[in-house]
Structure 1
Amino acid sequence: MLKVNQVFASELKSFDSRLRVFNSCASPMKAVRERYGCPEVDHIVSSLPLAYKKRLLSNFLSSARSNLKEGGRFLQYQYSLANYGDMKPIFSDIKLKFTLRNMPPAFVYDCLK
């Protein structure tokens, strides 16, 4: 897990010994994985706002996909459907869900590699 907030990252580490938490932003995901000997990942869960410029958004989504193992899932929480079209060229298998358990309620993009 990559977390920018060092205090939160430390607390997460103490929560579950199986969880690997790295104090880093998401941009160098592959470099962080390789540095610590982590293979491709099963799941990526993101709640980053996707209001990036198109090129940055495409780079982020492509990076997320390339770090997933085959059959891995990218879960993205958003409050609108505005980025569905940006995700479709990168993840061809996208299931869209809506959760009322989040406050405010959110859409969940469930993307399969």
Structure 2
Amino acid sequence: MKIPSFIYQYLINPRTVGALLPSSKYLSEKMLEEIDFEKAYYIVEYGPGTGVFTRKILKRRKQKTIVVLIENNKKFYKLLKERFIQEKNLIIIHGSAEKIGKFVNDYQIPYVDYVISGLPFASLPQKVSTNILANTEKVLKEDGLFVTFQYTKIKISFLKHFFPNINIKKEIRNIPPAYVFNCMKSKGDGRFEN
């Protein structure tokens, strides 16, 4: 899929695609900085789009690590199926991240170590965002991590309802510049300083 196709998907689905261009390699690196690929058995990605983060996740994961991609856009879903057809231990689902609980049950995944999200929470309907975050919090293991990026900090207090311990990093080498939120379930973990 060429960049104009990505732009086209943004123009017809601005609330769910969220950006005119795919994420930069710099943003990809910042999104994956906190992932311990040696210890990760189950990684989920919401809204992988054209697979910018996915490529790096698949390259770094252990062979037995199961990666689950959940993509609601049908064009991107088909592209991902074609692009990663040879990958083992990769599950690609066409559906909403709201149903993460059902999806992990369907594939007998006992817990999730990391959830990487490219979803635009600033433009998603509030109810959809609430369902996604509440269900994500339920499937993550106790010391699991939810990593998302946004173009503003407007949703930080909303995210803190579900993940009280959030570390924020800015990546200016992206169009537009983005904030990466590393979100943990418990306040007293001590992993991040706020």
TM-score interval for Structure 1 and Structure 2 normalised by the shorter chain: 0.7 to 0.9
Q: Does 1:18 align with 2:101?
A: no
**Which of residues 156, 161, 182 in structure 2 aligns to 1:110?**
182
Counterpart residue identity of residue 101, structure 2: K
Contact 2:98 2:128 in 1 (8 A): no
Query: CA RMSD of the aligned region, Å?
Result: 1.9
Structure 2: give runs of 5+ residues left out of the alignment.
Answer: 1-68, 186-194
Q: Does 1:69 align with 2:137?
A: no
More strand by share: 1
Paired residue for 2:64? Answer: none
Aligned length: 113
Q: How does 1:40-79 map to 2 (within 5 A)?
A: 40-50=111-121, 51-79=123-151
Q: 1:29 Cα shift?
A: 1.0
Identity percentage of aligned residues = 27
TM-score by length of 1: 0.85
More helix by share: 2
Counterpart residue identity of residue 47, structure 1: G
TM-score by length of 2: 0.52
Q: 1:53 Cα shift?
A: 4.2
Contact 2:149 2:181 in 1 (8 A): yes
What's the secondary structure of 2:137's corresponding residue? helix
Structure 1: give runs of 5+ residues left out of the alignment.
Answer: none
Counterpart CA distance in 2 for 1:83 and 1:15 is 37
Counterpart CA distance in 1 for 2:86 and 2:143 is 27
